[in-house]
Protein backbone atom coordinates (compact mmCIF):
# COMPACT_ATOMS: atom_id res chain seq x y z
CA UNK A 1 0.00 0.00 0.00
CA UNK A 2 1.01 3.60 -0.62
CA UNK A 3 0.43 6.26 2.03
CA UNK A 4 0.42 10.06 2.13
CA UNK A 5 1.00 12.68 4.83
CA UNK A 6 -0.97 15.70 3.64
CA UNK A 7 0.05 17.90 6.56
CA UNK A 8 3.40 17.91 8.35
CA UNK A 9 5.85 20.66 9.40
CA UNK A 10 9.25 19.43 8.23
CA UNK A 11 10.55 23.00 8.60
CA UNK A 12 9.66 23.16 12.30
CA UNK A 13 12.71 23.77 14.53
CA UNK A 14 12.04 20.47 16.32
CA UNK A 15 12.90 18.70 13.07
CA UNK A 16 16.11 20.66 12.49
CA UNK A 17 18.83 18.43 10.99
CA UNK A 18 16.44 15.45 11.16
CA UNK A 19 14.73 15.86 7.81
CA UNK A 20 16.85 13.27 6.00
CA UNK A 21 16.08 10.67 8.67
CA UNK A 22 12.37 11.52 8.59
CA UNK A 23 12.35 11.13 4.81
CA UNK A 24 14.12 7.77 5.13
CA UNK A 25 11.61 6.51 7.72
CA UNK A 26 8.71 7.78 5.60
CA UNK A 27 9.91 5.89 2.54
CA UNK A 28 10.40 2.71 4.58
CA UNK A 29 6.78 3.01 5.79
CA UNK A 30 5.46 3.33 2.23
CA UNK A 31 4.73 7.07 2.40
CA UNK A 32 4.98 8.42 -1.15
CA UNK A 33 4.10 12.08 -0.55
CA UNK A 34 4.37 14.65 2.24
CA UNK A 35 3.13 18.24 2.20
CA UNK A 36 5.30 20.37 4.45
CA UNK A 37 3.34 23.35 5.78
CA UNK A 38 4.77 26.74 6.69
CA UNK A 39 4.26 29.09 9.63
CA UNK A 40 6.21 32.20 8.63
CA UNK A 41 8.84 33.47 6.18
CA UNK A 42 11.72 31.33 7.48
CA UNK A 43 9.73 28.09 7.37
CA UNK A 44 8.33 28.99 3.94
CA UNK A 45 11.87 29.38 2.56
CA UNK A 46 13.01 26.14 4.18
CA UNK A 47 10.01 24.23 2.84
CA UNK A 48 10.89 25.37 -0.69
CA UNK A 49 14.43 24.05 -0.20
CA UNK A 50 13.13 20.73 1.16
CA UNK A 51 10.74 20.37 -1.77
CA UNK A 52 13.68 20.86 -4.13
CA UNK A 53 15.93 18.46 -2.21
CA UNK A 54 13.30 15.73 -1.99
CA UNK A 55 11.45 16.42 -5.24
CA UNK A 56 8.64 13.99 -5.93
CA UNK A 57 8.24 13.14 -2.25
CA UNK A 58 8.10 16.45 -0.33
CA UNK A 59 5.81 19.24 -1.51
CA UNK A 60 5.80 22.77 -0.07
CA UNK A 61 2.79 24.64 1.28
CA UNK A 62 3.64 28.30 1.91
CA UNK A 63 1.82 30.80 4.10
CA UNK A 64 1.46 32.32 7.56
CA UNK A 65 0.00 30.32 10.43
CA UNK A 66 -2.52 32.16 12.63
CA UNK A 67 -0.28 31.64 15.67
CA UNK A 68 2.58 33.40 13.83
CA UNK A 69 0.65 36.48 12.72
CA UNK A 70 1.26 38.38 15.95
CA UNK A 71 5.00 37.63 15.84
CA UNK A 72 5.84 38.62 12.27
CA UNK A 73 8.73 40.97 11.68
CA UNK A 74 8.47 44.28 9.79
CA UNK A 75 7.15 43.63 6.27
CA UNK A 76 7.30 39.86 6.83
CA UNK A 77 3.78 39.29 5.57
CA UNK A 78 4.61 41.20 2.39
CA UNK A 79 7.78 39.13 1.99
CA UNK A 80 5.79 35.92 2.30
CA UNK A 81 3.36 37.17 -0.33
CA UNK A 82 6.27 38.04 -2.65
CA UNK A 83 7.90 34.63 -2.10
CA UNK A 84 4.66 32.83 -2.97
CA UNK A 85 4.09 34.98 -6.06
CA UNK A 86 7.66 34.41 -7.25
CA UNK A 87 7.38 30.63 -6.95
CA UNK A 88 3.67 29.92 -7.36
CA UNK A 89 3.78 30.14 -11.13
CA UNK A 90 6.27 27.27 -11.35
CA UNK A 91 4.01 24.22 -11.36
CA UNK A 92 5.00 21.73 -8.70
CA UNK A 93 7.21 24.11 -6.67
CA UNK A 94 4.36 25.16 -4.38
CA UNK A 95 1.63 22.59 -3.76
CA UNK A 96 -0.67 24.83 -1.74
CA UNK A 97 -1.13 27.91 0.42
CA UNK A 98 -0.82 26.69 4.00
CA UNK A 99 -1.09 26.56 6.86
CA UNK A 100 -3.45 29.54 7.03
CA UNK A 101 -6.64 30.37 8.89
CA UNK A 102 -8.00 31.72 12.16
CA UNK A 103 -7.54 30.73 15.79
CA UNK A 104 -8.92 32.83 18.67
CA UNK A 105 -6.49 31.20 21.11
CA UNK A 106 -3.72 33.28 19.53
CA UNK A 107 -5.76 36.46 19.21
CA UNK A 108 -7.11 37.58 22.57
CA UNK A 109 -7.23 41.29 21.75
CA UNK A 110 -9.15 42.94 18.91
CA UNK A 111 -6.00 44.21 17.24
CA UNK A 112 -4.65 40.66 17.06
CA UNK A 113 -7.97 39.33 15.77
CA UNK A 114 -7.90 41.95 13.03
CA UNK A 115 -4.31 41.03 12.13
CA UNK A 116 -5.28 37.36 11.81
CA UNK A 117 -8.26 38.14 9.61
CA UNK A 118 -6.23 40.47 7.40
CA UNK A 119 -3.47 37.89 6.96
CA UNK A 120 -6.02 35.16 6.17
CA UNK A 121 -7.66 37.31 3.50
CA UNK A 122 -4.24 38.09 2.02
CA UNK A 123 -3.51 34.36 1.74
CA UNK A 124 -6.91 33.62 0.20
CA UNK A 125 -6.43 36.36 -2.38
CA UNK A 126 -3.11 34.77 -3.33
CA UNK A 127 -4.65 31.31 -3.57
CA UNK A 128 -7.36 32.67 -5.86
CA UNK A 129 -4.90 34.61 -8.02
CA UNK A 130 -2.41 31.74 -8.39
CA UNK A 131 -5.08 29.00 -8.50
CA UNK A 132 -3.49 27.10 -5.62
CA UNK A 133 -5.23 24.85 -3.08
CA UNK A 134 -5.61 26.16 0.48
CA UNK A 135 -4.84 24.27 3.70
CA UNK A 136 -6.94 25.73 6.50
CA UNK A 137 -6.46 25.85 10.27
CA UNK A 138 -9.95 26.23 11.76
CA UNK A 139 -9.76 25.56 15.49
CA UNK A 140 -12.73 27.30 17.20
CA UNK A 141 -13.27 29.29 14.02
CA UNK A 142 -14.82 26.90 11.49
CA UNK A 143 -18.10 28.78 11.19
CA UNK A 144 -16.39 32.10 10.56
CA UNK A 145 -14.10 30.55 7.96
CA UNK A 146 -17.10 28.99 6.24
CA UNK A 147 -18.62 32.45 6.04
CA UNK A 148 -15.42 33.90 4.52
CA UNK A 149 -14.55 31.26 1.91
CA UNK A 150 -17.45 31.95 -0.52
CA UNK A 151 -15.99 35.42 -1.12
CA UNK A 152 -13.17 33.78 -3.09
CA UNK A 153 -13.02 31.52 -6.13
CA UNK A 154 -10.73 28.90 -4.67
CA UNK A 155 -9.39 25.87 -6.48
CA UNK A 156 -9.79 23.57 -3.46
CA UNK A 157 -9.80 23.75 0.34
CA UNK A 158 -8.45 21.24 2.86
CA UNK A 159 -9.69 21.51 6.45
CA UNK A 160 -6.66 20.28 8.37
CA UNK A 161 -7.35 18.35 11.62
CA UNK A 162 -11.01 19.34 11.54
CA UNK A 163 -12.57 18.57 14.93
CA UNK A 164 -15.83 20.47 15.33
CA UNK A 165 -18.58 21.25 14.99
CA UNK A 166 -19.46 18.02 13.19
CA UNK A 167 -22.72 19.68 12.12
CA UNK A 168 -20.73 21.77 9.63
CA UNK A 169 -19.39 18.76 7.74
CA UNK A 170 -22.34 18.55 5.31
CA UNK A 171 -21.70 22.18 4.29
CA UNK A 172 -17.99 21.48 3.93
CA UNK A 173 -18.74 18.46 1.75
CA UNK A 174 -21.27 20.41 -0.34
CA UNK A 175 -18.54 22.94 -1.12
CA UNK A 176 -16.38 20.11 -2.45
CA UNK A 177 -13.80 20.63 0.30
CA UNK A 178 -11.65 17.92 1.89
CA UNK A 179 -10.84 17.08 5.52
CA UNK A 180 -7.55 15.63 6.82
CA UNK A 181 -7.19 13.65 10.04
CA UNK A 182 -4.22 12.09 11.78
CA UNK A 183 -3.19 9.98 14.76
CA UNK A 184 -6.09 11.14 17.01
CA UNK A 185 -8.46 9.01 14.92
CA UNK A 186 -6.96 6.04 16.77
CA UNK A 187 -8.02 7.29 20.22
CA UNK A 188 -10.31 10.35 20.01
CA UNK A 189 -14.07 9.80 19.97
CA UNK A 190 -14.57 13.27 18.50
CA UNK A 191 -12.20 12.70 15.57
CA UNK A 192 -13.67 9.24 15.00
CA UNK A 193 -17.08 10.88 14.67
CA UNK A 194 -15.70 13.30 12.06
CA UNK A 195 -14.25 10.36 10.10
CA UNK A 196 -17.52 8.48 10.43
CA UNK A 197 -19.49 11.41 8.96
CA UNK A 198 -17.19 12.61 6.19
CA UNK A 199 -17.16 10.63 2.96
CA UNK A 200 -14.04 8.56 2.32
CA UNK A 201 -13.84 10.37 -1.03
CA UNK A 202 -13.29 13.65 0.87
CA UNK A 203 -10.71 12.41 3.39
CA UNK A 204 -6.93 12.74 3.59
CA UNK A 205 -4.39 11.53 6.17
CA UNK A 206 -1.84 13.64 8.05
CA UNK A 207 0.46 13.66 11.07
CA UNK A 208 0.84 17.40 11.78
CA UNK A 209 4.31 16.49 13.03
CA UNK A 210 6.12 17.37 15.17
CA UNK A 211 2.94 17.54 17.34
CA UNK A 212 2.99 14.67 19.88
CA UNK A 213 0.09 12.29 20.59
CA UNK A 214 -1.43 9.89 23.11
CA UNK A 215 -2.58 6.30 22.82
CA UNK A 216 -0.31 3.97 20.87
CA UNK A 217 1.73 7.03 19.78
CA UNK A 218 2.53 8.21 23.31
CA UNK A 219 6.17 9.10 24.01
CA UNK A 220 7.07 8.58 20.35
CA UNK A 221 8.47 11.37 18.15
CA UNK A 222 5.94 12.01 15.39
CA UNK A 223 6.96 10.94 11.88
CA UNK A 224 5.08 10.00 8.70
CA UNK A 225 5.62 6.36 9.73
CA UNK A 226 2.46 6.87 11.86
CA UNK A 227 0.33 7.03 8.71
CA UNK A 228 -0.23 3.26 8.27
CA UNK A 229 -1.71 3.21 11.80
CA UNK A 230 -3.92 6.19 10.89
CA UNK A 231 -5.20 4.25 7.88
CA UNK A 232 -5.88 1.22 10.10
CA UNK A 233 -7.90 3.38 12.47
CA UNK A 234 -9.90 4.91 9.61
CA UNK A 235 -10.51 1.41 8.29
CA UNK A 236 -11.97 0.34 11.64
CA UNK A 237 -14.18 3.42 11.94
CA UNK A 238 -15.44 3.17 8.36
CA UNK A 239 -15.72 -0.62 8.31
CA UNK A 240 -13.74 -0.60 5.06
CA UNK A 241 -10.70 -2.64 4.05
CA UNK A 242 -7.35 -0.93 4.73
CA UNK A 243 -6.17 -1.25 1.15
CA UNK A 244 -9.34 0.44 -0.09
CA UNK A 245 -8.87 3.28 2.41
CA UNK A 246 -5.21 3.78 1.42
CA UNK A 247 -6.03 3.65 -2.29
CA UNK A 248 -8.89 6.13 -2.05
CA UNK A 249 -6.85 8.55 0.05
CA UNK A 250 -4.04 8.39 -2.51
CA UNK A 251 -6.53 9.27 -5.27
CA UNK A 252 -7.96 12.05 -3.11
CA UNK A 253 -4.47 13.49 -2.65
CA UNK A 254 -3.77 13.44 -6.38
CA UNK A 255 -7.11 15.10 -7.10
CA UNK A 256 -6.80 17.77 -4.42
CA UNK A 257 -3.23 18.81 -5.20
CA UNK A 258 -3.47 18.11 -8.94
CA UNK A 259 -0.47 15.78 -8.73
CA UNK A 260 0.24 12.36 -10.18
CA UNK A 261 2.22 10.14 -7.81
Under the banding of pLDDT at 50, 70 and 90, the label for residue 91 is low
99, 38 in Cβ contact below 8 A? yes
Total number of domains constituting the chain: 1
- Name the average pLDDT for the chain: 95
- Which CATH number does the domain housing residue 191 bear? 3.20.20.140
Ramachandran class of 17: left when φ > 0, alpha when ψ lies in -120 to 50, beta otherwise: left
Q: How confident is the model at residue 93 (pLDDT cuts 50, 70, 90)?
A: confident
Asked if residue 161 lies in contact with residue 7, where contact means CB atoms within 8 angstroms, the answer is: yes
For residue 194, what are the domain limits? 3-257
201 alpha-carbon distance from chain centroid: 17
pTM score: 0.96
Per-residue pLDDT of 109-153, as tens digits, reads 776 788 999 999 999 999 999 999 999 999 999 999 999 999 999
Q: Give the pLDDT confidence of 12-25 residue by residue, as tens digits.
A: 999 999 999 999 99
Amino acid sequence: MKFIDAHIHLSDPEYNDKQSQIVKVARQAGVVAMVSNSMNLATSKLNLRLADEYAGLVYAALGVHPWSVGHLGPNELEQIVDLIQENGRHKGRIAAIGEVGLDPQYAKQKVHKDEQVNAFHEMLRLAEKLELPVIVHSRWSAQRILDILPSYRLKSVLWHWFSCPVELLPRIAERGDYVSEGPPVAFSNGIQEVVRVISLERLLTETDGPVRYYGLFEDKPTTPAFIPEVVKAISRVKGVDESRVAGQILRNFESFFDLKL
